[in-house]
Amino acid sequence: MDTGFVAALGDWRTRSEPLARALAAAVREAVIDGRLPAGTRLPSERELARALRLSRGTVVAALSLLRADGWLRTRHGSGSAVRLPARLTERTSPWSLDRGGAPGADLDLTLAVTAAPHDAYRAALARAAELSGPLLVDSGTATVGLPRLRALLADRYTRAGLATRPEQILVTAGAQAALTLLLDQLHTDRTAPVLVENPAYPGALAVLRARRARLLPLPVTTPDGWDTAHLAATVRRHRPRLAYLVPDFHNPTGAHMDTATRREVAALADRHELTVIADETMRELDLRTPPGAEPHLAGARVIQIGSTSKILWSGLRVGWLRATAELVRQLRLNPLQAQLAPPPLEQLIAAELLGAPLPDLLADRRARLRAQRDHLAGLLAGTGWTYTVPAGGLTLWLRLDGTGPRATDLAARAAARGLALTPGPRFAADRTTLTRHLRLPFTATPETLTRAVELLRACCTV
Amino acid sequence: MDTGFVAALGDWRTRSEPLARALAAAVREAVIDGRLPAGTRLPSERELARALRLSRGTVVAALSLLRADGWLRTRHGSGSAVRLPARLTERTSPWSLDRGGAPGADLDLTLAVTAAPHDAYRAALARAAELSGPLLVDSGTATVGLPRLRALLADRYTRAGLATRPEQILVTAGAQAALTLLLDQLHTDRTAPVLVENPAYPGALAVLRARRARLLPLPVTTPDGWDTAHLAATVRRHRPRLAYLVPDFHNPTGAHMDTATRREVAALADRHELTVIADETMRELDLRTPPGAEPHLAGARVIQIGSTSKILWSGLRVGWLRATAELVRQLRLNPLQAQLAPPPLEQLIAAELLGAPLPDLLADRRARLRAQRDHLAGLLAGTGWTYTVPAGGLTLWLRLDGTGPRATDLAARAAARGLALTPGPRFAADRTTLTRHLRLPFTATPETLTRAVELLRACCTV
């Protein structure tokens, strides 16, 4: 008998459960940790019992538990093999949100992310492996991006009404990497302020703070969106050279910039020589039926950045920017570009997924997110907290009532009971305001959301 | 007939070559671009002739050319299929160096990189694909690194005499990413200077300059190594809190720090509360026979960083740092960490390659590099240029004689003749000195090195 199976289980007898349950749990964990790849054959029941020094009845009981939960595939005549249960691979919510990914938290609502589209990713990976030969004989060092991926991205912009040549695309290791590179290239006068939304995406704030950029906050609220009068006044008064905006399903508020505002922002940018970096990471997570038709935020002074992290999977770490071909040429010479380029294999996988499979994957993802958003909104009814149901994206921006605890207190209380949350000040340009707000992602399953909101309500009444 | 093959060739008739040569070139490029994956079957000669409207003789001639160059595999009775020639997959030198990867350059000696270990990478990728299931149902967001990879790296340090727990390892998207993260965490007083070698690795200089760090240069020369008297005086006088050093086969000089100097540096760091970041990216490219036995540069105030880029492949983009478990915990909370973490799939591939296959891969790589280094040294004999044959690493640091052109002039002349080179000032902390130096990587094949040195010598006599 091949003893690899038994060795992969490790020291499982130290568990305090009954033996059959402990054995089943050990098999599950070995599959999750990758010690037993899906498809690994099990020894026969008799062999297992002998190798593990268990009664055959205990082994049979353990295998029954695994089979009932979907961890075993049994084919008549060819024995059993381990697998990942279908309920884990056919889902939008990532595993770690449901089992409580953050250390010490049973429920983690700090991440607004989804699991990978399992079958499509596996197929893309297999195809990328087939195509990888020519990459491997190359140096693997940074380029502007695989020609195929640049062409595909340019074509997607062009079809969406924004004529784009492949030379205008630079592939990066995610949208934050694109922002880092753009700041290094364009934010050369470091005393000049950078305009950001308030609240803003914390990842972008981190990048800006790492460069010690002075931040000019522009208020964004869920019901009213971007305060363009404030924007115009700020631009005239402080003369920022750069702005970072999330016009499509803004993180965290979910606000969506209307067509007139997009035109106004682009015109203002032109007039005041303001370069706008428009983060479109959420753009394709439009949950309206039918989806809206707002154009890209675009213009001579607008640079678009995007990523696969929200529409496909964070684990890909593939993003891009769209700018003039001249700026892309300059960025290619920036010494930071080399460390901000994604691995060629991930680019191949992204190119596969962003092609033919994407429309179905997005349709599926949108349907699930819409259901989860509506479920979350239902749970919040009657709480006294206010919010606008977001038209897209992954998060709901909650305003607590004025009488209860503040967001940071509430988050601390929730953390003590095993629920991790991100309070408003994390999204504030000044780090201290927005104390009455919480961001709730609806990327978790309805069951997780139900448990989370119950816990949250209980924390308020303590 | 499947018309995919013909479609993948694109518009190949626009070439000015004879038809048979043009067709062969189109097939080669389709394989290189990944439009025709290795293993794709060719239609029969008769079908191809008909589909391409060519005489059968032309098709036969094109296929003969491809077969002679190793681009076709023909099995009796089952027709022909495209493949990558073995000479491309069984090599250390990356493809782009030999065909001239830089735009406009026939010969590119600006990169010190190698091709991927083809067969081992393909096997690791296949195994990673098998193990990827559990990753895909997770969120894919940044972690400190896959448990398996952290354990493996900790074990490698421990076996090399530097006791290390997995909690002391943070996996990053390359060594430069590790440096970026460490600077953000530790270089908090931005008026404090950072000690760097002179010459220094340009990638590290770029990261330091992006933070506007004030640089304190420490001279390193090939024959004498690190100037420790200068180091001690500089530390006492300028009190830097941080130093970035490459003690193992320093890039570009190839200098290697002896055991006594390592102890001195660690003691100095302790005494003056100086944190030393030791970049060990080249450490395992020891070309001495037998290899040396210098210990890691280590101590209470030394952080080691490493990467797969030079020992395996730049395309992996997997690096790491080794620090105290407490610092790793703090770095995990740094908001920049999320964008500096490598994709989980690349970590799986790296873990496969850094395990059982590594010793053979390194032995093979060292043997090839040693032969290429010696070939390069032979070519330089009698040029009047001086150098020390490096004991390891990937590059030779050439000092031009005082009478000929300076390095930047020489590089400009060489570029005009299709040879791309990196002149000394690129490695200078002040960007302007080291004008008599050139870095020559010996990662290219002997044929490429021969052509490059011939061209270089011709440029000097113009």
Q: ipTM, 2 decimals?
A: 0.87
Minimum mean pLDDT among A95-104, A152-161, B66-75: which range?
A: A95-104
Q: Give percent of chain A above pLDDT 90.
A: 64
Q: What's the CA gap between A264 and A226, in Å, rounded?
A: 11
Task: Specify the pLDDT at position B102.
Answer: 47
* pLDDT, chain A, mean: 90
pTM, full prediction: 0.88
Of B114, B134, B148, nearest to A32 by CB-CB distance is B134
What is the tens place of the pLDDT at every residue in B107-130?
889 888 888 999 999 999 999 999
CB–CB contact B315 A345 (8 Å): yes
pLDDT digits (tens, 9 = 90+) for A356-375: 999 999 999 999 999 999 99
Backbone angles phi, psi at B309, to 5 degrees: -65, -35
According to DSSP, the β-strands at B225-226 and B215-221 are antiparallel
The CA distances from residue A115 to A98, A123, A125, A282, A376, in Å, are 11, 16, 16, 16, 19
Q: Write down the pLDDT at residue A104.
A: 55
The partner residue sitting opposite A336, judged by closest CB among B113, B206, B338, is B206
- The second-level CATH assignment, the architecture, of B3-84 is Orthogonal Bundle (1.10)
**More confident call, B262 vs A104:** B262
Pair A105, A420: CB distance under 8 Å = yes
B401 phi/psi in degrees, rounded to 5: -75, 165
Which residues of chain A lie closer than 8 angstroms to B130, CB-CB?
37-39
B194-198 and B215-221 beta bridge pairing? parallel
Smallest CA–CA separation between B365 and chain A, in Å? 14
Q: Which residues, listed in sequence order, are joined to residue B76 by a DSSP beta bridge?
A: none
- Nearest residue in chain A measured CA to CA from B37: A131
pLDDT in tens, A383-410: 889 999 999 999 999 999 878 888 989 9
Nearest CA in chain B to A124: B129
What is the rounded average pLDDT of the residues A162-185? 96
Instruction: Check A177 against B313: CB less than 8 A apart.
Output: no
Which chain A residues are Cβ-neighbours of B431 within 8 angstroms? none
Query: CB distance from B293 to chain A under 8 Å?
Result: no
| pLDDT (0 to 100) of residue A244 | 98
Size of interface A-B (CB pairs under 8 A): 231
Chain B nearest-CA residue for A90: B137
pLDDT score recorded for residue B217: 92
> Strand, helix or coil at B164?
coil
Residue B421: exposed, middle, or buried by beta-carbon count in 10 A (0-12, 13-18, 19+)?
Answer: buried
**Chain B nearest-CA residue for A344:** B315
Residue B394: HSE in the Cβ half-sphere, 13 Å Cα cutoff: 25
Domain locations along chain B: 3-84, 95-115+359-460, 121-356
Contacts of A119 in chain B (CB under 8 A): none
Q: Distance between CA atoms of A151 and A167, rounded to whole angstroms?
A: 9
Helix (H, G, I), strand (E, B) or coil at B100: coil
Q: Which CATH architecture has domain A121-356?
A: 3-Layer(aba) Sandwich (3.40)
CB atoms near residue B90 (< 10 Å):
13
CB-CB neighbors (< 8 A) of A33 in chain B: 134, 147-148
The answer to whether residue B332 neighbours chain A at the CB level (below 8 Å) is: no
Confidence bin at A257 (pLDDT 50/70/90): very high
CA dist B67 and B348 (Å) reads 36
Are residues A9 and A26 in contact, defined by beta-carbon separation less than 8 angstroms? Answer: yes
In whole angstroms, what is the distance from residue B397 CA to residue B220 CA?
11
Using an 8 Å CB-CB cutoff, list chain A residues near B134: 31-34, 84, 95
Residue B52, CA atoms < 13 Å, CB-side half-sphere: 33
Say how many C-beta atoms besides its own lie within 10 A of residue A324's C-beta: 12
**Per-residue pLDDT, B104:** 54
Instruction: Give the gap in angstroms from C-alpha A414 to the nearest C-alpha of chain B.
Output: 20
- Give the gap in angstroms from C-alpha A259 to the nearest C-alpha of chain B: 31
Homologous superfamily (CATH) for B95-115+359-460: Aspartate Aminotransferase, domain 1 (3.90.1150.10)
DSSP result, B282-314: TTT-B-SSS---PPPS-STTEEEEEESTTTT-G
Q: Which residues of chain B have pLDDT under 70?
A: 1-3, 33-34, 90-91, 95-105, 462
**CA–CA gap between residue A412 and residue B134 (Å, rounded):** 31
Tokens representing A353? Answer: 């997924």
Rounded Cα gap, residues B219 and B245, in angstroms = 11
The amino acid occupying position B162 is L
